[in-house]
Amino acid sequence: MIPLTAYLSVASLLFTIGLIGFLTRRNVIILFLCVELMLQGVALNFVAFARYQGNVTGQVFTLMIFAVAACESAIALAFILLLYRFGKSLNISLWQSLHEPGLPVVPDQQPEEVVVLVDAMPKLPRAGIEPGFETEEG
């Protein structure tokens, strides 16, 4: 039988990794993914406690977490689209000017070397064209 401590420790490590991601990363979408990761850790805690107490209230609570997570992602994604429309970027540091006046601006740590910007998305050839040789469209 697996001890309750094993489930709780895994959940706490999931929460910690999510916390690190939330504090360090700068892309808004990754921040929200990290929040969802932390919620997964919490949900695992609830279900483990429910199992080891022989009570389904923890599972019901996890269902409530799902409802709140769904609401949160709906609102957050609408908000991200709105911010993107204003700033043309997903970097959350752009909105640092919203903070209380008079506070020092925390600098972001830039990458150590000059980063070669590579293509993030794969480029597919246009449909109907056999890949492998040049066409007029390029």
Partner 1 sequence: MVRLSLIEYWQFYILTLLGTIAVYLMLPKNLNKKFRLLRYTLMCLFLASFMILLFSDAQALTIEILLFAIFSLVALIGAASLVFQANPARSAISFTLVVISVSGLFLLLSAPFLMATTIIVYAGAIIVTFLFVLMLAQQSVLLIDDVQTRLPFTATSISFLFFLVTVLVIQFTYSPAQLRQPLQAIYRASLAATPEEFNQIFDPNQLNTLDEEVSRLRNLDNLNHLIVYPMGKESLNNISELIDEVKANYTSYQLEPNESSYLELRASLRKLVYANFGRLTISRSLSSPYSGVASDIPSHRIERDKAGVPVSPANNVSAIAHSLYTDHLLSIEIAGTLLLIATIGSVVISQRKLELA
Please list every residue from 45 through 74 that binds partner 1, using CB under 8 A. Answer: 47-48, 50-57, 59-60, 62-64, 66-74
Q: Which is nearer to partner 1, 124 or 130 (CB)?
A: 124
CA angle (124, 118, 108) in 5-degree steps:
135
Q: Any contact of residue 42 with partner 1 (CB under 8 A)?
A: no
Sign of CA dihedral 26, 27, 29, 34: negative
Q: Which is nearer to partner 1, 88 or 133 (CB)?
A: 88
Q: Nearest distance from residue 40's CB to partner 1, in Å? A: 5
Q: How many residues bind partner 1 (CB under 8 A)?
A: 85
Considering beta carbons, is residue 2 or 127 the nearer one to partner 1?
2
Q: What's the rounded Cα separation, in Å, for the pair 125 and 67?
A: 41
- Contact between 36 and partner 1 by CB under 8 A: the answer reads yes
**Which one of residues 98, 121, 124, 127 is an interface residue with partner 1 (CB under 8 A)?**
121
Q: How is residue 135 written in tokens?
A: 């066409």
Measured distance CA(128)–CA(138) in Å, rounded: 14
How big is the chain by its Cα radius of gyration, in Å?
A: 22
